[in-house]
Every structure is written in structure tokens, then in C-alpha cells.
Amino acid sequence: MKKDRIDFYKEIEKSRNSKLIIYITGDRPGLETQIHPEILEYFVDHLDSLGNNKVEKISLFLYTRGGSTLAAWSLVNLLRQFCKELEVIIPSKAQSAGTLIAIGADKVVMTKQAILGPIDPSVNGPLNPQNPAFPNNLQARLPVSVESINAYFQLASEDVKVNKSSDLVNVFTNLANQVHPLVLGDVYRTRTQIQMLARKLLNRTIKNSKEVERIISFLTSGSGSHDYTIYRSEAKDELGLKIEKPNDTLYKVIKKIYDDISEELELRKRYDPNMIIGTNSTAPYEFRRTLIESLHGGTDVLISKGILTKRIQTIQQPPPFPPIDRTVVEDNRTFEGWQHEV
């Protein structure tokens, strides 16, 4: 744990009368990480360090672009096993599955730059359509979003005015020829699942069922785009979520914690292997990519280590053109896993 952050953690715990846990998934371009089920066992260690009895309150300091829906759901329920009240503190981004975590809290503290977002996930898998930008990479697949599928059928029925059952069958058949039917099934299942999970989480804090359904509708389809950003005022005044604005003192502490972690994980620095290796033939690297941290449980960090190596790649051209040599940088990953630091 960086010693510079300890006093800030203590200050938040004192002012919020809570136990603080930090969870950051890095979004450094080229080294992005997401909410993943594997984090649950590390959270258990931090929670166990709080003692045998439930604490009054846990504050989860959260920064993420999203990830596994079920992992987010499980994390909220895990945290609630150890506290009577759960709040989420958002310094900047808590999008997608991060928003799902936020709506599962009793209270959400949002800075003026903090954002939530739609919770409709994209389906990713080996049966997804091939990414045409990478025709030679069979692993490069296009994500299929719930919103895109819905928009396709809305376009057909509302704009093109396709209303006959036989014509809608053709619309579906054309789509199924482009997107594997099993992927379409996963899209429907995922949409139904995310609505069910959101409903269960919101029912804990919002007793008006119509309000719950209105929030779910907006977060799963009403925004029109997965990139839609929900700032503090909209989250509070329009969606009706339990949002708190931090006072000036708390805001400064939140900002200092976020800025320090952002610098440690190099969130604002694009990963460019050519810049790292420079004029050398090889260069070792070590990147800190995800952080779970608390005063009581220390630091768990996801680390990637490896060696960058330059080599000459020869590209054959059809006659009479000569072969072309170009320099490429290979990433030889030697370690990727979690490391505990006291």
C-alpha cells in the first residue's frame, strides 16, 4: 500500500464512520481490466480482517468501466454479509457492471465528475461475428450488445414499417445469418438476467415498484447507447437514486486518493510497447492493473510482467515485388496474477 494514501483512508473512515475498501479496475488503453469473479476471494480476505461481527458500515471506493454482471451482483451481496449499511464512493467512473454495484448500495457518493452508465452488457464469445478490422485473427470478435439487437428490430418495425409476421421472420432470419443464433439467445438471456438482478438490488432501497421499473427501463434500454453518461444531477433528480454530494473536505480527499492511484496504475498513459522498448532490442516490464486495498487487509494487486523483444518480420509480396522487412515488438508475458502486499 502506498504510504501516502494511508492518512486519506483514515480520514474517510473517520468522516464516514465506516470501513473503507478500494476497488479499481484499470482502464489504461491497451491494458484494460474488468470486474471479474476472481476478485471475490480477495475481497473475502479484506472483509475477514474487519472481525467476526458485522460492521456498521462499509464504504466501497469504486472506479471501473464494467465487467462481469454476475461478479458485480455477487460482490454487492458479499459486502452486505459483513455490514449493516453499504455505500459506494465514485471518484470518476462506475459504468456498466459498476453501475449495477452502485444501485445495490444504500447510498452513493458521487463527485461532480463521477458518472454512472447503462447496465445492458455486451455478449462476447467465440461464436460472435468476426471483426473485419482483423481478418487474419480468428480470436478478434465483435461484441454484440443488447441495445444493438433491440435497435435493429425497432428500425425494422418503426422506421421501415415491417409489421407482418412473415416479414418479421425474414428480418430475424437475416440477423441470424449474420449473428449466430446462440449468441442471439445469449443476448436475450443476458437482458432478462440483468433486469432481474437490478430489480432485486433496487427493491432494497426503493419501495415504489413503478419507480424501480422506470429506473430499470432507462438503464437497460431507455438511454439509447451503452456509452451514455449519467452525472450526479441526473442520477439523483431524474432517476431518483439515493445520491449524496460530498462536501468540499471529502471531495478533496476522494480526489487525492483517485489521483494517487491513477498515477500508480498509469491510467492516463496509453500502453505503447514501441515507446517502452525504444532503441533497445529487449525491455522488461511490470504493470499494475487492478487494485483492491484497505487499511485492514493491505493491498492485492493484479500484475503483468514480461519482456518486450524486437524482431524482423519478413512479408512476402507477389512477384515481381521483393519481400518487405519490418520491425515488430513481441510481448512475451512471463507472469500475470495477483500479488499481496502488506
Whether residue 80 sits in one domain with residue 52: yes
Instruction: Identify the residue whose cell numbers are 457518493.
Output: 109
pLDDT at 81 over 90: yes
With vertex at residue 228, the alpha carbon angle to CA 131 and CA 70, rounded to the nearest 5 degrees, is: 70
Which of residues 197 and 121 earns the better pLDDT score? 197
- Considering the domain boundaries, does residue 333 fall inside one? no
Does residue 307 form part of some domain?
no
pLDDT of residue 164: 75
Q: Spell out the residues 6+ positions from residue 238 whose beta carbon is closer than 8 angstroms to its own.
A: none
User: Domain boundary at 248, 270, 292, which?
Assistant: 270
What secondary structure, in 3-state letters, does 47-98 show?
HHCCCCCCEEEEEEEEEECCECHHHHHHHHHHHHCCEEEEEEEECCEECCHH
At 239, which CATH number?
3.90.226.10
Please check whether residues 50 and 103 belong to one and the same domain: yes
Residues 12 and 103 in one domain: yes
Number of structural domains, the chain? 2
Both 30 and 128 in a single domain? no
Distance, CA of 72 to CA of 103 (rounded, Å):
11
Taking only the tens place, the pLDDT of each residue in 237-289 is 988 999 999 999 999 999 999 999 999 999 999 999 989 999 999 999 999 99
Alpha carbon separation from 107 to 92, 216, 220 (Å, rounded): 16, 17, 21
Residue 316 counted as domain residue? no
Residue 127 pLDDT more than 90? no
Pair 70, 18 in one domain? yes
* Domain boundary residue, one of 132, 158, 187: 187
CB-based contacts of 304, cutoff 8 Å, min separation 6: 31, 285, 286, 287, 289, 333, 335, 336
Same-domain check for residues 104 and 127:
no
Same domain (yes/no): 91, 29:
yes
Write out the three cell numbers for 236: 439523483
Same domain, 17 and 42: yes
Alpha-helical runs (H) found in the chain: 3-16, 39-48, 69-80, 97-103, 146-154, 165-178, 181-202, 209-217, 232-233, 248-265, 273-277
Q: Answer yes or no: is 201 within a domain.
A: no
Name, in order, each residue with C-beta under 8 angstroms of 324's C-beta and a sequence gap of 6 or more: 314, 315, 317
Residues of the domain holding 130: 123-187
95 and 50 in one domain? yes
How do residues 305-341 score in pLDDT, each as one tens digit?
999 999 988 888 888 888 888 888 999 999 999 999 9
Residue of 326, 74, 29, 46 whose CA lies nearest to 200: 74
Residues 104, 70 share a domain? yes
Same domain, 90 and 54: yes
**66/23 same-domain check:** yes
Residue with cell 437475416: 174
Going by pLDDT thresholds of 50, 70 and 90, the confidence category of residue 139 is low
Between the CA of residue 330 and those of 66, 131, 266, 274, what are the distances in Å?
28, 22, 21, 10
